[in-house]
Structure 1
Amino acid sequence: MSAPQTSAPQTSAPRAWARDLGMGVRFAFGGGREGWTRTLFTGVGVGLGVALLLISTALPSALTARYERGDARSMINAPRAEQPGHDTLLAMRADQTYHDMDVEGGFLRAEGPDAPVPPGLRKIPGPGEMAVSPALKQLLDSPDGKGLRERLEDWRVSEIIGESGLMGPGELFFYAGSDRLQKTGPEQYQVIRITGFAPVEEREGLDPVLTLLVVLTFVALLLPVTVFIASAVRFGGERRDQRLAALRLVGADARTVRRIAAGEALAGSLVGLLLGVGFFAVGRELAGSFTLRQRSVFPADLNPSPELAALVALAVPVAAVAVTLFALRGVVIEPLGIVRTTTPRGRRMWWRLLLPLGGLGLLVPLMGRRADGGGNFNQWQVGAGIALLLVGITAVLPWLLERLVSRLSGGPVSWQLAVRRLQLTGGGAARPANGVAVAVAGAIALQMLFAAVESDYVASTGQDPARAALSISLPPGNEGMGDLPAKVAATKGVVAAVPLTAVYGQQPGPDDGSRTEITIGTCEALREVAVLNSCADGDSFVLTDPYSGRPLRPGEKLAIDPFLDSSPDPEHSKAVEWTVPAGARPVTGREDPTGRIRGGVLLTPSLAPRGVGAAENAHVFVQVDGSVPDALEKVRTAALKANPLSRTLTLKYTKEKAGYSAIRTGLFFGATAVLILIGTSLLVSQLEQLRERKRLLSALVAFGTKRSTLSLSVLWQTALPIGLGLALAAVAGLGLGTVLMRMTGRPVRIDWSSVAAMTGAGAALVALVTLLSLPVLVRLMRPDGLRTE
């Protein structure tokens, strides 16, 4: 009786996976120069994407830190005091503009020894002293800051503001001490008396449209990053498959070689994680040196969320293994070769359309909601829909490229070489194009949505820069304008300087809080606020009061408080009685250059009320000659020197709402980072593909092929997939933009110039990358490229 046969012990699935993945890792690091070079290329590609993902996870903490420091120095909700005390501080905004840069700051005057000190300072600057941010100090010391240095030369820098008092390292900010600062009454709202600093109240949340913009921005910026990471883990695919065929020859089965290939990808992704952390650390330290649109962050603020960082660390290796196994699903690796080297089976289209159709299925039901404040939407549903639509590009593009190149034939030798190469390895050529196409499609959709909702968040100011480029104002308590108008008018480049002063009077009877404005100026100045048929010194006019709806009548009496109720002295509380002149004529008011319509009384200088100088508000409207260099800067300097408490406003036609402006700034930051990633990743991908074809290129040159022909063939191999990808991106971007515009209830309008600009930018980036890769291509076409190990 024969003994029972025993079967060989079977390796469990987890142990088989661990063994084969480990073998793939060893091949990645121990496969000689070829192995570690391929791993390094993969690591660099993955690392760039990981660094950007880590930066994305760190942005919320950086923005929160910026807001917290801004709130810490805020005086909007600061506790106020009516009278001077040992713990009171007088403060006034003193924001400046210099060469289109915002220089924020304020004037301070301590009224007692315990006055609150702003964050970032050791003491309150005294008269003639100024505390500045490091960036402002650097600007003042540089040749570019000559004009600003002249403007602020009356103050010497006594202290550098610390990080706790700044929103970012690139912020231009200052505190200047002034003994001219005074609070003359509640009407003088420009100067405040505080006993401390307090954070801003809870910030208003974003409305549905702005939330939609945020969702679209994040998805459109992060998806290209993930696409490039997925492409990077497939670097060196052709050489890898040849090694796997050799493993099949020594007895490995099909599942084993796929797991080994996944192990190689896992090794590259792990190297990429380490490099990504290194790139992030370097980028974090360099972040403080960069300022975009006057926005910057301190390196210490870029702290990735631990949860999101852990998610990235886990998702990247898992995605590398998954992408590799998915890529090998249609490749038959046999001991004597790879079936893919023969004519490949055509790609199926049906499942590729499921992705964009699924995205539309999620977004179309939301099209009737009108996400404009009256209806909300599910952010996850919107984000998933947008992601599926954009990811659908990566699925459809290889199929389109395969169909296109299969029908191409003939042409120059360079064209034929490129087409034949694409016919054999169209999938590899489409991978770099996928990231560009996704980025361009997202950019087109973003541009369409921003343009559609711009009118809701970019409002008209009512100002008319054609009539006055600047408006200079003085708070009450300055005893009139003094020589400010004369000094401004004498500044080089000033075409006109129109001064107006105003005081406020109250009609007899119960005090209902309303005031009547009395505007004083020359006939030329009064024509800025009213339509005057005739005017001479000694004339007076009445306007329809915008509040009461009726004009004052000649002979009516007004009481003007010359000290704005600020003084405890009974003598100061006596109002000056003033009577509307008997000859005052009714006239029609007009908007002044700031867009304001005045009411009350208009007076020429000889009829101005006497003894009310402390209550005067003063304005000077300034028009400049744009052909004079730095005319605006000279006027701002002249105004500050004439009266340090003057405030200069640059008139503009429009202004953006804060939330909308913040999103645009964030988009600019993100788009810049993604653009750098796309360019770098494309260059790495191009170099990797050239490295794989080194022997082929050398052989073609050895057989007499012109180097210019090979260079053109490489250009065509890049241009065809990218061109097709950009066309697909334009269609997908227009479709996504149309759906989003319908969701917000806006009419569909396509700005074709923006579409052309987005696609042109993508094409220009690819052309630049191709140009940068030409020196490497020329070097690889040398005969020594035929040598092998």
Structure 2
Amino acid sequence: MIRLGLRLAVAGGREAISRLALIAIGVAVGAALLLTTVASLHAVNTQNSRYAWLETTFLGSNAPAAFTASGGSAPLSPPSSASSAASRAGTSDPLWWRLRADYFRGREIGRVDVAATGPGSPVPPGLARLPGPGQFYASPALARLLRDTPAGQLGDRFPGRLVGQIGSAALPAPNSLLVIIGHNAADLSQQDDVGQVTAISTTTPAACATCALGVGINDNGMTLILSVVIAALLFPLLIFIAGATRLSAARREQRFAAMRLIGATPRQMSVISAVESSVAAFAGVAAGFGLFYVARPALARIPFTGQPFFTGDLTLSLLDVLLVAVGIPAAAAVAAHVALRRVNISPLGIARRVTPRPPRAWRVIPLAAGLGELGYCAYIADIGADSDTSTHLQAAAFLTGILATMVGLVIAGPWLTMLCSRLMAGRARRAATLIAARRLADNPHAGFRAISGLVLALFVSTCAIGVVTTIAAYNGGTAGAVAAGRSTVVRTFDNGPTGSTGSTTSVPTVTWRALTSIPGVAGVTLIRRAPVFDPREFPPPGIVSCAELARAPALGRCSAGTGTATIRPVFGGGFVHGASPLADTRWPAAAVTGADLGRLPLSSIVVATDGSRSAVERARTVLDLAYPSTFPPQTLTEFDARNAQQLDSYRQLANVVIFTSLPIAGCGLAVSVAGGLADRRRPFSLLRLTGVPLAVLRWIIALEAAVPLVITAAVAAGIGLLAAHLFLRGQLSENLQPPGAGYYLLVLAGLVASLAVVASTMPLLARSTGPETARNE
């Protein structure tokens, strides 16, 4: 039977070869996309693991740390048990270590200051040795910036000279901006926020207890990314691969039914069908591996997490290779066996094309159950508002709800397609419309199968856009939204410019002159701490001179006739916030005279510029050198970007999902339409012989795909918005905001592209429905 199956698969003439080629191409594309998805997940974890060394000195990493305050006095955080274990295994010569952040043109720079205490001090990954005093290593991307940028804008921030580049083992991404600066141990030990370590951390941000702020993706973010990818990409992929393996299913059913009628047993038919399907699936899987490795360099440049990958990060494990290489052909064989169920039961019924039973209304129950679970999490359990509920439990609850809703859409789809067909038949005024409606009513499962991938893609895209645009709408009134936010540089102080409990009330003359002499600087504004305020107030109030505030329009303005004002600047916002723009705020008068103002400690230094890169970066450099700190001077836009970093990553993830799932679904639609044409060559050929114009046949095909697509797409979009609202309500206690015009343009573009896919298959109709088809079959 195996030999006969192979002969039937390849010895059936042009039709058999074409069928195998179509199945192999479809499986190849699906396998390549599946391999890309799996490899991308590995790349995310690999990229995240390269942040591990930056977690050194943070509690919860496995590198021992002893944080010290100003001058190395008192520990701020004791080492964890894991740190203690690493201490016993670490080197005998500790390493002084300080992690800081910096900014250049809106991009964050990771800066590590180190000082060895002996030849046995640990060395970070990517370096052959530690930099000495007056030396530093930079990542390749930062080294290029240092070479191409005037020193006053960037290079002057890093003392010493560049002696080498940081290797890829320490770089999360090819464009990472990192610098490791060497110091004398006696000097660095007296700086703020410095710690001693005897080993470099190997704990990734996804596993650390207390992570460095803004370093890597924590466990919650990793859970979200994996959940979204599983829900958003694997479903359309599996549907696409299943559709590819079902190409020419009707033609095979007829052939197998004829074989059953002449005496073939069900077991023999199952073996022949499995062999025929597996041959094409194996060829497609092999081609899919080739497509994946050819496209891997281009795929690595896609910023899946907001940053590109190294090509080598897109790897496959042995288990991944085996699952894809064996799983897809096995799934194709199982699908072929299932497709033979009606043949084995009644081969004569297949030969006579018995109409299957229509779908029932019970198919909407799983869809209602999925939405019900999301509604329960949002309004009854309210797990997002419960601080005792773990993030993993929240993610699991919402993920299962989303998955159940997606499964419900697939199950309810044929029933919705049947309703579409009845609506078309009741309003038909042309022969093409009536024939298309009757064909959909005859087999709504096949009609929906062609568009199921697009329906799921639209659901996922709508849900993602609804969540992200709602959060962006709540955050849209921040200072970073105006042009002045990009041109205003702010240096904030927690306990005065010195970083100690003592407070400074003035800026040194040399610093003031350096700032005001920069071309493009419009003025410098000093915000001082209010003498009396409630410690529970946030943000704490500040006092500012109205004359100086007039030079910084991004911070607002004083009431008329006042000399000093009470200001409450919010530099950056949370993940979701509704802060109004600072520039639109009129601050009230303060009960502080101009003479008393100079005696108040400084809270912030604000430098207003003309927005040019040179002015912004030179002002940042002056402030960075005058007041070194863990967090650098930032523009108002960068403050918002830092606090909304999670939102930016989610927006990037949503874009990847949208622009990946839609092409997958489009490929699935093309495969389904092409397969449908191959299955109906003889009926269409007979219609042409009876005088039906080719244009009518084209309208039939177009209507069969377009009408259920538009109606089910509207249903999927509505359910996607509802799911987004329930997620926002359950996780953030916010209500869905209507998507902007961009969403509707995206949906319209997706529908137009889908119809274009259908139209692209029309040339096959003329070539495959000629008179010879009816004669030969």
TM over 0.5: yes
Partner of 2:756: 771
User: Matched residues in 2 for 1:150 and 1:32: separation?
Assistant: 74
Shift in Å at residue 502 of structure 1?
A: 7.6
Which residue of structure 1 aligns with residue 452 of structure 2? 434
Compared with structure 1, are the counterparts of its residues 29 and 303 closer, same or farther at alpha carbon in structure 2 (3 Å cutoff)?
A: same
Corresponding position of 2:414: 398
For 2:432 and 2:104, locate their aligned partners in 1 and report how far apart those are by CA, in whole Å. 56
Deviation at 1:430, TM superposition (A): 1.8
Which one of the candidate residues 454, 475, 489 is aligned to 1:471?
Answer: 489
Give the match for residue 63 of structure 1: 44
| 2:152 equivalent to 1:133 | no
Deviations 1:165-223 (A, max 9, x none): 111224344457899x976966x55x888887545642579899996896466324322
Q: 1:780 to 1:535 in 2, by over 3 A?
A: closer
1:39 matched to which residue of 2?
A: 20
- Aligned residues of 1:170 and 1:288 also touching (Cα < 8 A): no
- Measured after TM superposition, the shift of residue 164 of structure 1 is 1.1
Counterparts of 1:728 and 1:119, CA distance in 2: 52
Q: Report what 2:89 is aligned to.
A: none
* Of 458-467 and 355-364, the range deviating more from structure 2: 458-467
SS of residue matched to 2:606: strand
Counterpart residue number, 2:246: 234
TM-superposition CA deviations, 1:368-426 (whole Å, max 9, x none) = 22212344658767655543332222222223323432453544565456445545554
CA apart distance, 1:649: 0.6
Supply the AA of the counterpart residue of 1:778. Answer: P
Amino acid at match of 2:22: F
Shift of 1:433: 0.8
1:649 and 2:667 are equivalent in the alignment? no
2:619 pairs, out of 618, 624, 639, with: 639
Pair 1:488–1:128, CA change in 2 (3 A): farther
Contact 1:94-1:645 within 8 A present in 2 as well: no
- 2:489/2:620 contact within 8 Å kept: no
**Does the Cα contact within 8 Å between 1:67 and 1:167 map onto a contact in 2?**
yes
Change (3 A) 1:212 1:290: closer
Query: After superposition, where does 1:225-304 map in structure 2 within 5 Å?
Result: 225-253=237-265, 256-257=268-269, 260-292=272-304, 294-304=306-316
Asked if the contact 1:217–1:667 (Cα under 8 Å) also holds between the matched residues in 2, the reply is: no
Note if contact 1:87-1:113 (Cα within 8 Å) is conserved in structure 2.
Answer: yes
For 2:367, give the aligned amino acid. P
For 1:119, the aligned partner's letter is P
Distance 1:389 1:518 in 2: 50
| Distance change in 2, residues 1:618/1:378 (3 Å) | closer
Distance 1:161 1:378, change over 3 A: closer
Q: TM-score, normalised by structure 1?
A: 0.69
Residue number in structure 2 paired with 1:676: 663
Matched, 1:202 2:218: no
What's the RMSD between the two structures over aligned residues?
Answer: 5.5
Q: Tell me by how many angstroms 1:161 deviates.
A: 2.5
Secondary structure of 1:63's counterpart equals helix
Alpha-carbon distance in 2 for matches of 1:591, 1:732: 42
CA displacement 1:485-519 (0-9 Å, x = unmatched): 66667535x5x3224398999xxxxxxxxxx9999
Q: Give, as a single letter, the amino acid of the residue that structure 2 aligns with 1:166.
A: L
Partner of 1:645, secondary structure, is: helix
Write out per-residue CA displacement over residues 534-581 of structure 1, whole angstroms, 9 at most, x where no aligned residue: 799xxxxxxxxxxxxxxxxxxxxxxxxxxxxxxxxxxxxxxxxxxxxx
Q: Amino acid of the residue matched to residue 589 of structure 1? A: T
Structure 2: which amino acid aligns with 1:133? S
1:171 maps to: 176
Q: How does 1:616-765 map to 2 (within 5 A)?
A: 619-624=605-610, 631-639=611-619, 645=625, 647-652=632-637, 654=640, 656=643, 662-690=649-677, 711-734=698-721, 736-737=723-724, 740=727, 744=731, 746=733, 749-753=735-739, 761-762=746-747, 764-765=749-750
Instruction: Quote the residue 2:567 is aligned against.
Output: 590
- Residues 152, 696 of structure 1: alpha-carbon distance in 2 compared, 3 angstrom cutoff: farther
Measured after TM superposition, the shift of residue 729 of structure 1 is 1.5
Whether contact under 8 Å (1:52, 1:673) holds in the other structure is no
- In structure 2, C-alpha distance between the alignment counterparts of 1:76 and 1:412, rounded to whole Å: 75
Q: In structure 2, what residue type is equivalent to 1:645?
A: L
Structure 2 residue aligned with 1:355: 366
Structure 2 residue ranges without an equivalent (≥5):
59-64, 74-92, 212-216, 500-505, 532-539, 573-581, 627-631
| Change over 3 Å in CA distance of 1:526–1:175 after alignment to 2 | farther
Cα–Cα, structure 1 residues 491 and 683, in superposed 2: closer, same or farther, change >3 Å?
farther
Q: Percent identity between the aligned chains?
A: 25
Contact 1:228 1:435 (C-alpha < 8 Å) held by counterparts: yes
TM-score, normalized by length of structure 2? 0.69
Could you tell me whether the CA contact under 8 Å between 1:485 and 1:498 is conserved in 2? no
Distance in 2 (CA, whole Å) between partners of 1:488 and 1:455 is: 37
Superposition deviation, residue 705 in structure 1: 6.8
Q: 1:221 aligns with which of 233, 253, 265?
A: 233
Question: Whole-Å Cα distance in 1 between the matches of residues 507 and 6 of structure 2?
Answer: 82
Q: Are 2:146 and 2:155, in contact at CA under 8 Å, matched by a contact in 1?
A: no
Please give the alpha-carbon distance, in whole angstroms, between the structure 2 residues aligned to 1:110 and 1:733: 54
Amino acid corresponding to residue 460 of structure 2 in structure 1 = G
Query: Is residue 332–residue 338 contact of structure 1 (8 Å, CA) maintained in 2?
Result: no
- Alignment counterpart, residue 125 of structure 2, candidates 110, 119, 123: 119
Distance 1:463 1:47, change over 3 A: closer
Q: Which secondary structure state, in structure 2, belongs to the residue aligned with residue 473 of structure 1?
A: strand
Aligned residue in 1 for 2:85? none
Partner in structure 2 of residue 387 of structure 1: 403
Q: Flag the 1:124–1:417 CA change in 2: closer, same or farther, 3 A.
A: farther
Q: Which residue of 2 aligns with 1:512?
A: none
User: 2: CA distance between counterparts of 1:192 and 1:470?
Assistant: 33
Instruction: Report the alpha carbon displacement of residue 126 of structure 1 after superposing the two structures with TM.
Output: 7.7
- 1:125 Cα deviation after fit: 6.2
1:497 paired with 2:513, answer: no
Any conservation in 2 of the 1:227–1:435 contact (CA below 8 Å)? yes
| Among candidates 434, 439, 444, match of residue 462 of structure 2 | 444
Report the CA distance between 1:349 and its aligned residue.
Answer: 0.8
**C-alpha distance in 2 between matches for 1:50 and 1:396:** 27
Kept in 2, the 8 Å contact 1:698–1:780? The answer is: no
Which secondary structure does the structure 2 equivalent of 1:46 belong to? helix
Question: How far does the alpha carbon of each residue in 1:196-252 deviate from its partner, in whole angstroms, 9 at most, with x for none?
Answer: 754564257989999689646632432222222222221111221232233235322
Q: 1:128 to 1:265 in 2, by over 3 A?
A: same
Partners of 1:261 and 1:71 lie apart in 2 by 51
Structure ranking higher in helix proportion = 2
How many Å separate the matches in 2 of 1:386 and 1:518?
46
Letter in 2 for 1:441: F
What is the 5 A alignment of 1:305-454? 315-330=327-342, 338-339=350-351, 341=353, 344-349=355-360, 352-356=363-367, 359=370, 368-372=380-384, 373-375=387-389, 377=393, 383-406=399-422, 408-409=424-425, 410-412=428-430, 415=433, 418-419=436-437, 421-423=439-441, 426-448=444-466
Alignment of 1:518-597 (within 5 A): 523-524=547-548, 589-592=566-569, 594=571
State the Cα deviation string for residues 299-327 of structure 1 (Å, max 9, x = none).
Answer: 33334465566555665445434444444
